[in-house]
A and B are shown apart, each in its own frame.
Chain A
């Protein structure tokens, strides 16, 4: 559907996107994930023809976004980071303009606007000026704009930024709904969001694609980092002795050790099997376990690892914002 080949964008000496290549298949929801300033917006602007690349090529269904711009753009609906709204218009007037500009036939225009207003739930505000609408409704009008002309691909740049938690959930539901009919690409610096709605996650850091897979596969890929944490009513020496019996060469890290209670963390590839054998081993020795848990590397940890690996990483502040927001 969309092919991005060796995309590079320089702003003067600063490289925003460097040699980025990926393919987007039909009928899935893709999530662009990356810390602030990773190149997500730049990539999306280039994919929608709003920005020219320094080198590289983007084709939408075989149409080059620059050579055959009109054909390619008809297939795309784009919501930039700042919804491009005419504040002194009503949503209905605005959608009418966008529909006409996208070449929707006059006979279908009204029907399509009604349908899209229903999907995006903006019927109630259709005759109010956009400048009087709340941020959530403005975002919906922005998404409605992207849907006009029934494009195959919908590209949404940080669609939930600045919304309250309830609005975020509503917009996510809307996007999941859209994903049934259209190919959706959205960007976000919030992991849980991408994890919740996307079928494929593309992690971008410093203008490069560092990972591209389903959320489950990404977790599996890093399953080696899984571990077992246990707390036993036993001295440190006893605890270690029992663990060594079960798994002689596991890497064991002592978290805390008091006289009669020891907490350790054991790295393993098969945390559940290890838990079972540990349980029986401790029971045989009449040592009680007060805690026995498995810990998988979360996507969040993978994200931090991947985006921080490529130095120079963004400043600590933006990094923190990126994962906690």
Chain B
């Protein structure tokens, strides 16, 4: 794992992605800081982080696109498979480097509240609390980016898909408010999701039985629950959408709430997507 870590770290500094990502984050941190803190005069640095969080939608795909897609394109994934390393270590090594790449601009941004506080009265715990949340948000989004990179053959399509997924996640909260809150609408939406899931399982595994079971078993449970206590479905689907929005969870931090649950949620997202990445790489071993 150490070998992968050192190798990846120097890749990021030899190619432009590391620098582009860092410069990009710092540029927007500077712009938002100037506008919100210096021009308008808010004494809350967390507002800056809240406003610039959407920059991740562009930054994270740039940072993560090459992670695995590039290995595949250069056929160096063959080398990784033949080395005495487990895929878990390969993925973890790569992901830790991404965390460092996110940590570097975050560490630079950490000086801003200190500088600002020497000119006025800034609430530092709020600022640094939000910065921790900001880093965790980046870490969760990067895990999604790594997984998408593991599905793709080339960097550009990985970046494109990652951008689309993050954008959708960003708008999830706003979209949720347009979804009907009626019990039947929620029920129908869950049913459609199950069918979609089954289709994906079928496409990935080419196993019709597994696909049908994926949809059927939770489907029966869904129908039963809906039949017995249909009213409990009222507003469930929009609520779930809101809960899944990573950005929405981060806004609590920029409002000055240090929400441990959100950090746990971000960490879980990292765990799930890194697990899926390892599985996606192992799957290649089976399909060639």
Which A residues fall within an 8 A CB radius of B? 11-12, 42, 45, 48-52, 69-71, 73-74, 76, 78, 80, 82, 84-89, 93, 97-98, 100-103, 145
Contacts and interface: CB of A to CB of B under 8 A. Distances in A.
A86 B82 contact: no
Nearest to B83: A101
A50 B82 contact: yes
A48 B82 contact: yes
A12 B288 CA distance: 11
Contact of B74 (A51, A74, A87): A87
A73 B83 contact: yes
Contact of B81 (A50, A87, A88, A102): A50
B75 to A, nearest CB: 4
B3 A101 contact: yes
A101 B288 contact: no
Contacts of A84: 74-79
Interface residues of B, number: 26
Interface in B5-58: 6-7, 10-11, 14-15
Contact of B86 (A70, A74, A100): A70
Contact of A73 (B10, B75, B76, B82): B82
A100 B6 contact: yes
A52 B83 contact: no
A98 B76 CA distance: 11
A80 B78 contact: yes
A85 B288 contact: no
19 contacts: A11-B287, A42-B288, A50-B78, A50-B81, A51-B285, A73-B82, A73-B84, A76-B82, A80-B82, A82-B75, A84-B77, A84-B78, A97-B7, A101-B4, A101-B7, A101-B83, A102-B83, A102-B84, A145-B79
B85 interface: yes
A139 to B, nearest CB: 14
B78 A100 contact: no
B286 interface: yes
B80 to A, nearest CB: 8
Contact of B288 (A51, A73, A74, A89): A51
Nearest to A51: B288
B3 A85 contact: no
Q: Which 7 A-B pairs have the closest CB atoms?
A: A100-B3, A84-B79, A101-B3, A73-B84, A50-B81, A84-B76, A78-B82
A45 B288 CA distance: 9
Contacts of A80: 75, 78-79, 82
A78 B77 CA distance: 13
A68 to B, nearest CB: 10
Nearest to B1: A101
Contact of B85 (A42, A52, A71, A101): A101
Contacts of A76: 82
A69 B81 CA distance: 10
A82 B72 CA distance: 12
Given A80-B78, A84-B74, A100-B2, 17 more contacts: A45-B78, A70-B84, A73-B83, A80-B82, A82-B75, A84-B79, A87-B74, A93-B10, A97-B3, A98-B79, A98-B83, A100-B3, A100-B7, A101-B3, A101-B83, A101-B84, A103-B84
B82 A88 contact: no
B252 to A, nearest CB: 41
Contacts of B4: 101
A71 B78 CA distance: 18
Contacts of A101: 3-4, 7, 83-85
B76 A50 contact: no
Contacts of A49: 81-82
B79 A69 contact: no
A52 B79 contact: no
B76 A88 contact: no
A87 B76 CA distance: 10
